[in-house]
Chains A and B, each alone.
Chain A
C-alpha cells in the first residue's frame, strides 16, 4: 500500500505498524511511531493496522542541547 513515512511517499507490502518497523530493521530500537498524528504505543505495533495513504513518523532521540 502507499504510505508517507518520514515525509517520503512509498509503496510497501505491509499490513501493520510492526511490519513497517521490521521492513526498516528497527526491531528493538528506541523508536517512537506516530500514525496520522496519533502515537502508536509499542505494545500495539503488531496489531495496529495501516490504511492506504497514511502518514507515519518514525522518530528517535538524537544529539541536541
Chain B
C-alpha cells in the first residue's frame, strides 16, 4: 500500500491522532495511553509553576525526550493578545514553535471566538509560528484562517469535553472540500465511532483528550481511537459506495436453481 503521511509545517507524521495530555488519572495511565495511541503529536497547556511544589506538575519529566512533537495550546486566553502572549512563552521553552490557538470567550460553551482566533493566527504566522487554530466549524472562517497562513485548521466537532460527537457533519464535509491545508477535527468527540466518522468525512486527523483520559480504561480507549482513525482514513481513501433507497443483490441472479 502507498504510504499515507500527514504533512504539517514541514513535518511528516505517520499518525493522524493528536492526543491531549490533560485530565489523566495519573502519569502511569497517561504513559500507557500515549503508547497505545501511537500519537506523535501531544498537546499541552502553559501554566504558572506552583512555587510551593515545583516538582508536582512538570509533565515533561515522564516523557521520553525527542519521542514526540509538542503542540502547546493557548487555553485560558480570551483575546488574541492574550493568546499571542501565551504562544510566545510556549516558544521560549525551545521545545516547539507550533501553537494551537485556542481562544474561548464563553465559559459555558468554551466555543472559540472566531474574530480573535483569526487575529491571533495572523499575528503568530507573521512571527514565524506554525499555527494550528482551534476554530468554529465554519467553512468560510476555516478558509480565512488558511489564507492567513494557518498550517492546519482545527474545527471543533462539538464544545470541548462534551463528547457529543460531530454535530455538523455537513459543515465538516464542506470544510474538507474547500481546504488546501490539513483539517484536524478537534474537541467534542466522545467515542471511536465519532473519530471514525470525522475521518470518513475526509479529516486529515483528529485531536482528542477528554474521551481518552476520562474513559474507564484510557489505554484501551486510546487503542480504539487509533484503530478507528486508521479505519476511517482507509475508508475515506477507498471511497464508499453511494447510498441507494432499494436493495441490489450481492449474489448473481443467473443460474438460480429454483424455478
Residues of A within 8 A of B (CB): 5-8, 24-26, 29-32, 34, 37, 39, 41-42, 57-65
Interface flag for B37 (CB, 8 Å): no
Asked if residues A58 and B48 are in contact (CB atoms below 8 Å), the reply is yes
Q: Which residues of chain A are within 8 angstroms of B95 by Cβ–Cβ distance?
A: 30, 61
Q: Which residues of chain A are within 8 angstroms of B241 by Cβ–Cβ distance?
A: none
Asked if residues B48 and A39 are in contact (CB atoms below 8 Å), the reply is no
Interface flag for B46 (CB, 8 Å): yes
Asked if residues A61 and B54 are in contact (CB atoms below 8 Å), the reply is no
Q: Which 7 A-B pairs have the closest CB atoms?
A: A64-B45, A65-B20, A65-B209, A63-B22, A63-B21, A61-B44, A6-B48
Q: Which of B22, B93, B207 contacts A30 (CB 8 A)?
A: B93
The bracket for how many chain B residues form the interface is 35 or more
Residues of B within 8 A of A (CB): 20-24, 30, 43-49, 51, 54, 57-60, 70, 72-73, 75, 85, 88-90, 92-95, 160, 187, 207-210
Measured CA separation A64–B48 after assembly (Å) = 13
Further 12 A-B residue pairs, CB within 8 A, beyond A6-B49, A8-B51, A42-B92: A29-B54, A32-B92, A42-B94, A58-B49, A59-B48, A61-B44, A61-B90, A62-B47, A62-B57, A63-B45, A64-B20, A65-B75
Measured CA separation A61–B42 after assembly (Å) = 11
Q: Which residues of chain B are within 8 angstroms of A37 by Cβ–Cβ distance?
A: 85
Measured CA separation A12–B47 after assembly (Å) = 22
Q: Which of A8, A57, A62 contacts B59 (CB 8 A)?
A: A62
Asked if residues B93 and A61 are in contact (CB atoms below 8 Å), the reply is yes
Q: Which residues of chain B are within 8 angstroms of A8 by Cβ–Cβ distance?
A: 51
* 30 sampled A-B residue pairs with Cβ under 8 A: A5-B51, A7-B48, A24-B51, A29-B58, A30-B95, A31-B49, A39-B92, A57-B48, A59-B47, A60-B49, A60-B57, A60-B58, A61-B45, A61-B46, A61-B60, A62-B22, A62-B44, A62-B46, A63-B21, A63-B57, A63-B59, A64-B20, A64-B43, A64-B45, A64-B72, A64-B73, A64-B209, A65-B45, A65-B208, A65-B210
